[in-house]
Amino acid sequence: MTVRIGVIGTGMIGQDHIRRLTHVITGTEVTAVCDLDTARAEEVAASVGARALPTGGAVIDAADVDAVVVTSWGPTHAEHVLAAIAAGKPVFCEKPLATTAEDCLKIVSAETAHGSRLVQVGFMRRYDAGYREMRQVITSGAIGAPLMVHCAHRNATVPESYTSAMAAQDTAVHEIDVLRWLLDDEIRTVQVLRPRRTSKRYAHLQDPQIMLFETAEGVRIDLEVFVNCQYGYDIQCETVGEEGLVRLPDPAGVAVRSAGRHSTAVLQDWKGRFENAFDTEFREWAETVAAGTEPTGPSAWDGYAATVITDALVQALESGEIVHVDALKERPAFYGGASR
Ligand SMILES: NC(=O)C1=CN([C@@H]2O[C@H](COP(=O)(O)OP(=O)(O)OC[C@H]3O[C@@H](n4cnc5c(N)ncnc54)[C@H](O)[C@@H]3O)[C@@H](O)[C@H]2O)C=CC1
Ligand SMILES: O=C1[C@@H](O)[C@H](O)[C@@H](O)[C@H](O)[C@H]1O
């Protein structure tokens, strides 16, 4: 069976996912798209033989759409995800699930009332081969109980519209999800340290930031977010346990020896770094849609937890204090039972 997909939002990542669903993944086709920029939607639709429809609602309700991909701006996600649940259609929503915890909870309630999972959130790092292997090592017990995790999330540059709060909402949100999943643990406190600001970027921006987390099990996590590091896109993660450690590999690249130097290239953006992860993410999601089974990736609950924790980080950035993530509710049985 070919899964017929409707895509809401044909901007940067929407176009990348449409390419993926058309040319990389087998068993999927994009049949309908929409965008506020109708000319862009028409152009993208024509390039893959799809129809451009006027609104997200029209895409969701279309008879030739079996499942929906939401790649519009974050504040519009909740509306589209809720409409897809009301239509009983599987929906893959790029991060964030919603920009407020309240909207995330509306989605959780709607999905729970529907009675089975329909929503998957686009936290693609769970599909990265390195993170998957790291999780296997941790769960196998090979390094003993995890004690500390050291992470870095560096982007070469960001546009001027990027704000200090986005270091949590847009960037660290990926670590928040992948760390909860890696450790099978919940983040309970957060703190943000403000190092000297880089002079290479905008005066309004606190960059870099050091985020500190403590989990329910007492694991301490430090995360450097530096979104104007200049030299490239660099993701680091090292988990230290009682009996050893496991470190994320750098992406493979040829080693060049020339002019007295031995070097390998550093990737420049997330598209290249996580390309294989995005492919696997969509392949596995489409398989569940084709089989009529529940999605197995990050759930609406994970989307909710990520939003609550990023809210706490923004509060911690402003106050300089340790913030307890008290707002996070207990995970319902529908999503796998009580979190710690
Ligand atoms: N997983 C990841 O690593 C990444 C995820 N993202 C997420 O993907 C989403 C989209 O980001 P980009 O593609 O970078 O943004 P973008 O601005 O390039 O594209 C968004 C598109 O959505 C359209 N749009 C906005 N509201 C709409 C609505 N109600 N109906 C139809 N179209 C609408 C806009 O006109 C625009 O063309 C964001 O939520 C972002 O956080 C973005 C980059 C990487
Ligand atoms: O999701 C992403 C962007 O929105 C964000 O701006 C970047 O910092 C992340 O590295 C990327 O994965």
Residue-range domain boundaries for the chain:
3-125+276-298, 126-270+303-335
**According to the model, what pLDDT value does residue 124 have?**
98
CA–CA dist 109, 247 (Å, integer): 38
Cα of 170 vs centre of ligand 2, distance in Å, is: 6
Contact 269, 233 (CB under 8 A): yes
Cα of 74 vs centre of ligand 1, distance in Å, is: 7
Domain made up of 3-125+276-298: CATH architecture: 3-Layer(aba) Sandwich (3.40)
Cα of 109 vs centre of ligand 1, distance in Å, is: 25
290 half-sphere exposure, CB direction, 13 A CA radius: 14
- Global confidence as pTM: 0.97
Residues 110-127: tens digit of each pLDDT: 999 999 999 999 999 999
Q: 332 CB under 6 A from ligand 1?
A: no
Residues in CB range of 119: below 8 A, 6 or more apart: 81, 84, 85, 90, 91, 93, 97, 107, 111, 295, 299, 300, 303
Which two structure tokens, joined as six digits, stand for 106? 């509306």
- At residue 131, φ and ψ (nearest 5 deg) are -65, -35
Residue ranges, the chain, pLDDT below 70: 337-340
Q: 4 CB under 6 A from ligand 2?
A: no
CA–CA dist 172, 192 (Å, integer): 12
- At residue 30, φ and ψ (nearest 5 deg) are -95, 120
Domain made up of 126-270+303-335: CATH architecture: 2-Layer Sandwich (3.30)
Which atom from ligand 1 is nearest to the alpha carbon of 14?
A: 13
Cα of 8 vs centre of ligand 1, distance in Å, is: 9
**According to the model, what pLDDT value does residue 338 have?**
60
Cα of 142 vs centre of ligand 2, distance in Å, is: 31
Please choose from 71, 120, 125, 307 the residue to mutate so as to test ligand 1's pocket, defined by most ligand atoms within 8 A of CB: 71
- Do 126-270+303-335 and 3-125+276-298 have the same topology in CATH? no
Q: 9 CB under 6 A from ligand 1?
A: yes
Please give the single-letter amino acid code of residue 80.
Answer: H
Cα of 113 vs centre of ligand 2, distance in Å, is: 32
**According to the model, what pLDDT value does residue 1 have?**
81
**According to the model, what pLDDT value does residue 5 have?**
98
Q: 170 CB under 6 A from ligand 2?
A: yes
**According to the model, what pLDDT value does residue 188 have?**
98
Q: 128 CB under 6 A from ligand 2?
A: no
ipTM of the complex, rounded to two decimals = 0.99
Which atom from ligand 1 is nearest to the alpha carbon of 76?
A: 29
